[in-house]
């Protein structure tokens, strides 16, 4: 199609499927990079839980790169969708041009920063739980860092490609990279015996492939292909783009803060435990919590994919003043997100032993499996609320309500996520770290309910005003 008018005409349920499914697959595939690494690392007897713990240490550092990428990409996507809804195609193209420059620059800067301060950063994120874990963390982090520019570019371009009306290409570009990683991981780890370096190299090659496909798409964009002048940086365009993307950034970067707090509390209170205080078992809690968070990441990829996939639809209809369609889409999204959470809840409560078995439990001690089962059941017991919360964050962002979305996200991850991760272990020890997640999700849900109701009322009032303004003069009586 030569324009995006269909976003305001087709049934919202059909549009949600059209945009959300490719986005879900893209995010799931993106999540597979780190998850697949951890599965193969866990099942390599010469790496085991030490390699698993190292992966957990490095994981938040890749999330920082993702935070930067989604701020640029989601912000550009929302800006483009709102602009097209208002028939302002020039602004949409300038946003894309400026975003591309930001993607390249930020990826290179972050890579250099990581290389210079690598040991200090790994220590900050709990890498010193024991000597072996720190050594594996250093090895894995170095090679992952070399791929940061490609990772940032590929992830940031994904929502931009969706905004251009090509959600399937966005999905395929990510899928290709992940499939390369899946194929190369066992070769590098089990055949070549490259250990943590092998896992990282496989990941980086996949990221390069995704970035390359994204570059190919730029030269063939359908609606918003930027001209040469659109790459000239504009402070106004950058400010508006990043303002719309700041919620995505804060939701990811605040998650990093929570993970840093959790990792350090695990290291501190694990050392006080009668079992995990022993050197040979010290890495187990960190490895296990990392695995639990990977499952959570899979579920959240589905949840965020549903919501983020709706951003172009929401943005266009808000820009075009079609509030009734936005309200209908919000209702569909909340129900879908809660359903995903319910399925995830059943899985973690009934089948935690199956989940931990995927991550090499057969090669570990009974303490590993026992703690993992408890971690799954406690840490993720409020999955339904967690899923609805994420949907609320992103939908508000897509509507242009960056302030409300940002505040809610920050309260969840910083005030509750970090706060309870630090406070609850004082009373409950290592188990307190596990309780921090469900307590945070439940309290955030209470606040989210208020915002959801307020948003519904606002959309309904706008709908009623629009109806009155378009009614014949005699019909108002």
State residue 3's pLDDT score.
61
Chain length of the chain = 477
Q: Which residue has the tokens 């950058």?
A: 238
- Phi and psi torsions of 304, nearest 5°: -65, -35
Tokens in use for 190? 């089990």
pLDDT for 9-61, tens place per residue? Answer: 888 888 888 888 887 887 787 677 778 888 899 889 889 889 989 999 998 99
| Domain regions of the chain by residue span | 9-463
| Interatomic CA distance for residues 386 and 380, integer angstroms | 9
Cβ atoms of 276 and 130 within 8 Å: the answer is no
State residue 464's pLDDT score.
58
Q: What is the pTM of this model?
A: 0.79
| Interatomic CA distance for residues 318 and 27, integer angstroms | 25
| Interatomic CA distance for residues 336 and 306, integer angstroms | 8
State residue 475's pLDDT score.
42
pLDDT for 64-96, tens place per residue? Answer: 999 999 999 989 998 998 888 788 889 999 999
Give the residues of the chain that fall short of pLDDT 50.
1-2, 468, 470-471, 473-477
């Amino acid at each position: 199609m030569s324009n995006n008018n269909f976003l305001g005409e087709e049934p919202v349920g059909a549009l949600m499927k059209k945009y959300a499914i490719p986005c879900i697959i893209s995010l799931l595939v993106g999540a597979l990079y780190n998850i697949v690494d951890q599965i193969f690392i866990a099942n390599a007897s010469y790496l085991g839980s030490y390699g698993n713990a190292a992966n957990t240490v490095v994981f938040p550092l890749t999330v920082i790169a993702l935070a930067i990428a989604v701020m640029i990409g989601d912000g550009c996507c929302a800006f483009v969708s709102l602009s097209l809804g208002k028939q302002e195609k020039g602004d949409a193209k300038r946003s894309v041009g400026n975003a591309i420059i930001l993607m390249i620059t930020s990826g290179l800067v972050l890579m250099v920063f990581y290389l210079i301060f690598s040991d200090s950063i790994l220590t900050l994120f709990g890498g010193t739980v024991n000597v072996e874990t720190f050594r594996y963390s250093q090895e894995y982090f170095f090679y992952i860092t070399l791929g940061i520019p490609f990772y940032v570019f590929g992830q940031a371009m994904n929502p931009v490609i969706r905004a251009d009306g090509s959600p399937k290409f966005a999905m395929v570009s990510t899928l290709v990279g992940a499939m390369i990683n899946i194929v190369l991981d066992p070769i590098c780890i089990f055949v070549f015996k490259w250990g943590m370096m092998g896992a990282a190299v496989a990941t980086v090659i996949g990221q390069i492939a995704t970035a390359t496909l994204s570059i190919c798409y730029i030269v063939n964009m359908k609606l918003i292909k930027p001209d040469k002048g659109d790459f000239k940086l504009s402070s106004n365009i950058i400010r508006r783009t990043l303002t719309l993307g700041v919620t995505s950034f804060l939701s990811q970067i605040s998650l990093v803060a929570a993970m840093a707090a959790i990792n350090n509390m695990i290291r501190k209170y694990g050392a006080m435990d009668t079992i995990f205080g022993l050197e040979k078992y010290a890495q187990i809690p960190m490895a296990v919590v990392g695995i639990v968070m990977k499952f959570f990441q899979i579920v959240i990829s589905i949840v965020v994919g549903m919501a983020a996939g709706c951003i172009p639809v929401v943005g266009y209809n808000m820009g075009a003043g079609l509030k009734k369609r936005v309200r209908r889409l919000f209702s569909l999204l909340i129900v879908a997100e809660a359903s995903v959470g319910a399925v995830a809840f059943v899985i973690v409560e009934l089948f935690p032993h199956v989940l931990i078995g995927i991550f090499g439990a057969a090669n570990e001690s009974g303490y590993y499996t026992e703690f993992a089962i408890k971690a799954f059941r406690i840490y993720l017991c409020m999955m339904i609320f967690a899923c609805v919360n994420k949907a609320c964050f992103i939908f508000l962002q897509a509507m242009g309500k960056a302030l409300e979305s940002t505040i809610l996200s920050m309260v969840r991850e910083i005030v509750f996520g970090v706060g309870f991760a630090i406070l609850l272990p004082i009373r409950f020890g290592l188990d307190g770290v596990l309780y921090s997640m469900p307590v945070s999700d439940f309290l955030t849900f209470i606040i989210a309910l208020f915002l959801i109701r307020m948003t519904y009322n606002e959309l309904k009032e706008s709908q009623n005003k629009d109806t009155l303004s378009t009614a014949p003069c005699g019909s108002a009586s």
